[in-house]
Structure 1
Amino acid sequence: MKRVIFPGMSRRVLSAALLVAAIAPVVADEPRALYQAQCASCHGEQRLGGIGPALLPGNLSRLTPQAAEAVIRDGRPASQMPAFGDQLDEADITSLAEWIYRPPEVEPRWGRDEILASHEVIHPDGSLPDVPRFDADPLNLFIVVETGDHHASLLDGDTFERLHRFETRYALHGGPKFTPDGRHVFFGSRDGWITKYDIYNMEVVAEVRAGINMRNIAVSGDGRYVMAANYLPHSLVLFDAHNLDLMKVYPVVSEEGESSRVSAVYAAPPRGSFIAALKDLEEVWEIPWPLPAEPVVSTGHMATPLEQHRGHDTPNFQVRRIAVPDYLDDFFFDLEYDHVIGASRGSESDGQGGMVINLDSGEKVADLPLEGMPHLGSGITWEHEGRRVMATPHLTRAAVSIIDMTDWSVIKTLETDGPGFFMRSHANSPFVWADVFFGPNRDRVHVIDKASLEIVETLIPEPGKTAAHVEFDRHGDKLLLSLWEEDGAVIVYDGDTLEEEQRIPMSKPSGKYNVWNKTRYEEGTSH
């Protein structure tokens, strides 16, 4: 389809127009008529999004119905969302808010045609200067996601000066991912948008919408490919990273035809593959990207399933199915990516444990007795008394579990002041930082000594305000901690003395991502 851009038409208005053109109208009832009259021009005829975000139950999980009513009535500061309190009475506002939380009568479609129609290249790959427009260490930069008003800030990791602040898509999710050289970063939004951003030039390079409800994205170890994981539709989507050109859509179905949501996709650079966690199938998927040709050497041993799969006659980007004994939708990997440590947030065990799967053989090698829904995606590792250990917080239990990765035994359980969400450290730091994200003590953060495996300090940066998510600078000397509030801040701490040094005001800063840590897979940082 030929695209005609009229004078004054923005990228997001064009995207909204393409969405509306792709969707058939529906029969109206009273709240639907309200929606069509007041909301559809920005949020799409079928609530799939446009200038504004998608308004479907799965995309609104971070917003309560009461908060939705407030947004409709009062608008949203620093956004294009206007206030409707003068146009709609309270009954209409309540009716409209309730309606957007209803599942659609017909499941929305988002396939190859819709993805291609959403694609826009603003600055083709190679068209922008190769020299940074700032005087700072490009490998010691931080990207800070501010979810309060849907912006991101670029910070100098040496001076903590804010170099740039720019608008993002609504509800970024899953953490931004960098190219290996640290120049480009990819953002994924809850409603399916992937944005490629040139850090050197502080410009958006390209955008595409991969799905309707997207969980996260991953970038291949060589920086050439991007893969998106979707809840809706049930798909994985592969893109060329240069301009986000679509390469392949994978419907996620079992060999028996059963469909599944995708919980997440991860890059496994030592394996040269993407690893996907599936919500509704007892399978893990591995999808290899092209690797440099290597000579075939006969070793006389029986080839593992992985070696058979990655033989020279096997096409790239083909799915290798790994059957597992339970649903695994939350992952952690060992350093070599030989094993995946997985747990389910919805299995019959109700978050009571995890298991370790050897990715070469596909066999389970251990069970992990981790009660209280471990948040393995935030797990970290370090060396302790000559062995590698990993630690994970728990989403429904006030504890941190520490596991010996040589025999997969739980060697210690630390009782905390509440369930936690994130843990962070650095190879050059003697400490692990663990927040207490859930419950009444969410204003606290624990500092754990790596040697003694004990909590040695509990900080309360500001009473009553959520303290969460630490990220170190590239050297492990300084760290950033969020006050996770609308009128929040990023707090700079000395990594050794634990003294606060600086506060940078921000709008609900959530994740903070250091270029060096993320591109070098630094110990103590989730990947």
Structure 2
Amino acid sequence: MMLSGLRTPLIALGLAALLAGCQATPPLEPRGTGDLGVVVERATGSLAVVDTSARRILGRVEGLGDLSHASVKFSRDARYAFVFGRDGGLSRVDLLSGEITHRVMQSGNSIGGAISQDGSLVAVANYEPGGVRLFDSETLEPVAEIPATYRNAQGETVRSKVVGLVDAPGNRFVYSLFEAGEIAMIDMNGEAPKVTRFPDIGEAPYDALIGANGRYYIAGLFGEDGLALLDLWHVEEGVTRILPDYGRGEARLPVYKMPHLEGWAMAGDEAWLPAVGRHEVLLADTDDWSLEERIPVHGQPIFVMSRPDERQVWVNFAHPDNDVVQVIDTETREVIRTLSPGEAVLHMEFTPKGEHAWVSARDSDRITVYDTRTFEVLATLDSESPSGIFFTDRAHRIGL
């Protein structure tokens, strides 16, 4: 299937002209991928391929399986999207042709993945069976499997769910083991994977992030307050605990949806993060990871995302307050705008330099594009149950 509006690659045109011995018509210009992206359409198992410059949908790629909690990573050249489906499917999609080039059912239940620093490997985090599998990024041929085994309270060797898988500098991957309460790191620089494990980090790590410079890996803990931090510059120091008041706190409020740690905003020397079970955005000093301030917001935050210039932080919320997005000015630390993009806002994504924000509203079947300076609605795009939005500039950013 060819996407409407996408042009034939120049190499193919040149080869066709050579074989024909002449050209009846001038060749079409090829297009780059730097202003492309995808929107996950979870109800139909499809991706909408979008042009962020023209603010339009170019076409759709179907047949991607269960995308109810799907994530997407991009190849080093930003041409291919790797789609990690909840059903264990791993798909490689050509953004220019709109075709699935490779697809494997690699597990029974997976929860995201990562691309190695050199672009050669795709790693997948699996719930069932618990572990990490690695594949060649060109062919999706299997390279290695690392089971997430541990000993339970009965002394049995069992597998743990893997969460919070990220790429790290030095062709490494870092992830957390939910039931085991561990962080693990895979080093892919030798003939075989080298796995280093950091036990007893806290109860039930549920998600994690890595900072933009690739130094700090931080896991959130579902079973207790606080977070676990691994300094990848000094792994010999092991894991330390930070922000002991991060979690639910004394008042055990109902938690409708755990926040996504990937959505943390790093602005200057501060981390802006969603409070668990509270209607607050928290500010922490990244020098000593102490809590500085709590900012009241509309609901329980899910994503707290920094505009690329770090002047604004955009926040969306859990049910039942998920029809609103709020914008915080990072200088005044005040909410400066409340937007209403539609019902069940699931994800936001900034264009690479931050002039526009794309927002998906699942239950309104639409994507809204905002001007981040004026908050004007620039476009409204029809999309069936849209959720995750991913732009190709992620290909060149650590952890995304």
The question of a shared fold, defined as TM-score above 0.5 by the shorter chain, is answered with yes
1:207 aligns with 2:87: no
Note if contact 1:179-1:222 (Cα within 8 Å) is conserved in structure 2: no
Structure 1 residues 156 and 335 mapped into 2: Cα distance closer, same or farther (>3 Å)? closer
Look up the match of 2:362. 484
| d(CA) in 1 for partners of 2:349, 2:211 | 20
Residue among 91, 112, 115 paired with 1:216 = 112
Partner of 2:308, secondary structure, is coil
Look up the match of 1:36. none
Partner of 2:214, secondary structure, is coil
Aligned positions of 1:504-523 closer than 5 A: 504-516=381-393, 518-521=394-397
| d(CA) in 2 for partners of 1:514, 1:217 | 16
Look up the match of 1:430. 311
Structure 1 residues 194 and 134 mapped into 2: Cα distance closer, same or farther (>3 Å)? farther
* Residue identity opposite 1:254 in structure 2: Y
| d(CA) in 2 for partners of 1:510, 1:376 | 17
| d(CA) in 2 for partners of 1:403, 1:461 | 29
Look up the match of 1:475. 353
* Residue identity opposite 2:262 in structure 1: G
| d(CA) in 1 for partners of 2:193, 2:373 | 45
Residue among 171, 174, 184 paired with 1:285 = 184
Deviation at 1:137, TM superposition (A): 4.3
Look up the match of 2:253. none
Deviation at 1:446, TM superposition (A): 0.7
Q: Deviations over 1:302-339 (max 9, x none)?
A: xxxxxxxxxxxx64412111224314232122333332
Look up the match of 2:266. 381
Look up the match of 2:162. 262
Note if contact 2:259-2:301 (Cα within 8 Å) is conserved in structure 1: no
Look up the match of 2:229. 356
Partner of 1:165, secondary structure, is strand
Which structure: greater helix fraction? 1
Does 1 or 2 have the higher relative contact order (CA < 8 Å, sep 6+)? 2
Structure 1 residues 230 and 365 mapped into 2: Cα distance closer, same or farther (>3 Å)? closer
Structure 1 residues 145 and 466 mapped into 2: Cα distance closer, same or farther (>3 Å)? same
| d(CA) in 2 for partners of 1:164, 1:134 | 19
Partner of 1:242, secondary structure, is coil
Q: Deviations over 1:118-143 (max 9, x none)?
A: xxxxxxxxxx9599x98654111121
Note if contact 1:284-1:322 (Cα within 8 Å) is conserved in structure 2: yes
Look up the match of 1:151. 46
Partner of 2:381, secondary structure, is strand
Deviation at 1:271, TM superposition (A): 3.2
Deviation at 1:259, TM superposition (A): 2.6
TM-score by length of 1: 0.64
Look up the match of 1:403. 284
* Residue identity opposite 1:376 in structure 2: L
Deviation at 1:379, TM superposition (A): 1.1
* Residue identity opposite 1:381 in structure 2: M
| d(CA) in 1 for partners of 2:266, 2:333 | 13
Aligned positions of 1:325-364 closer than 5 A: 325-327=201-203, 328-345=205-222, 347=223, 349=224, 352-359=225-232, 360-364=235-239
Q: Deviations over 1:20-53 (max 9, x none)?
A: xxxxxxxxxxxxxxxxxxxxxxxxxxxxxxxxxx
* Residue identity opposite 2:115 in structure 1: V
Note if contact 2:247-2:276 (Cα within 8 Å) is conserved in structure 1: no
Query: Whose Rg is larger?
Result: 1
Q: Which runs of 4+ in 1 moved over 6 A?
A: none
* Residue identity opposite 2:311 in structure 1: P
Q: Deviations over 1:317-367 (max 9, x none)?
A: 12111224314232122333332222222x2x2xx3223232322423442
Residue among 37, 56, 67 paired with 1:171 = 67
| d(CA) in 1 for partners of 2:94, 2:12 | 10
Note if contact 1:343-1:374 (Cα within 8 Å) is conserved in structure 2: no
| Aligned pairs, number | 361
| d(CA) in 1 for partners of 2:136, 2:351 | 30
Structure 1 residues 451 and 477 mapped into 2: Cα distance closer, same or farther (>3 Å)? same
Look up the match of 1:496. 373
Note if contact 1:134-1:163 (Cα within 8 Å) is conserved in structure 2: no
Look up the match of 1:317. 193
Note if contact 1:375-1:392 (Cα within 8 Å) is conserved in structure 2: no
Deviation at 1:431, TM superposition (A): 1.3
**Percentage of identical aligned residues:** 25
Note if contact 1:172-1:188 (Cα within 8 Å) is conserved in structure 2: no
Deviation at 1:206, TM superposition (A): 0.7
Residue among 300, 315, 323 paired with 1:443 = 323
Note if contact 2:182-2:197 (Cα within 8 Å) is conserved in structure 1: yes
Residue among 226, 232, 246 paired with 2:128 = 232
1:457 aligns with 2:337: yes
Note if contact 1:471-1:514 (Cα within 8 Å) is conserved in structure 2: yes
Deviation at 1:161, TM superposition (A): 2.3
| d(CA) in 2 for partners of 1:174, 1:424 | 19
* Residue identity opposite 2:227 in structure 1: G
| d(CA) in 2 for partners of 1:259, 1:148 | 30
Partner of 2:93, secondary structure, is strand
Structure 1 residues 484 and 374 mapped into 2: Cα distance closer, same or farther (>3 Å)? closer
5+ residue gaps, structure 2, are: 1-10, 15-27, 249-257
Note if contact 1:375-1:395 (Cα within 8 Å) is conserved in structure 2: no
* Residue identity opposite 2:292 in structure 1: I
* Residue identity opposite 2:86 in structure 1: R
| d(CA) in 2 for partners of 1:176, 1:145 | 9
Look up the match of 2:18. none
* Residue identity opposite 1:239 in structure 2: F
RMSD (Å) for aligned C-alpha atoms: 2.5
| d(CA) in 2 for partners of 1:418, 1:425 | 18
Note if contact 2:304-2:316 (Cα within 8 Å) is conserved in structure 1: yes
* Residue identity opposite 1:397 in structure 2: R
* Residue identity opposite 2:40 in structure 1: V
TM-score by length of 2: 0.83
Note if contact 1:429-1:496 (Cα within 8 Å) is conserved in structure 2: no
| d(CA) in 1 for partners of 2:171, 2:281 | 31
Note if contact 1:238-1:248 (Cα within 8 Å) is conserved in structure 2: yes
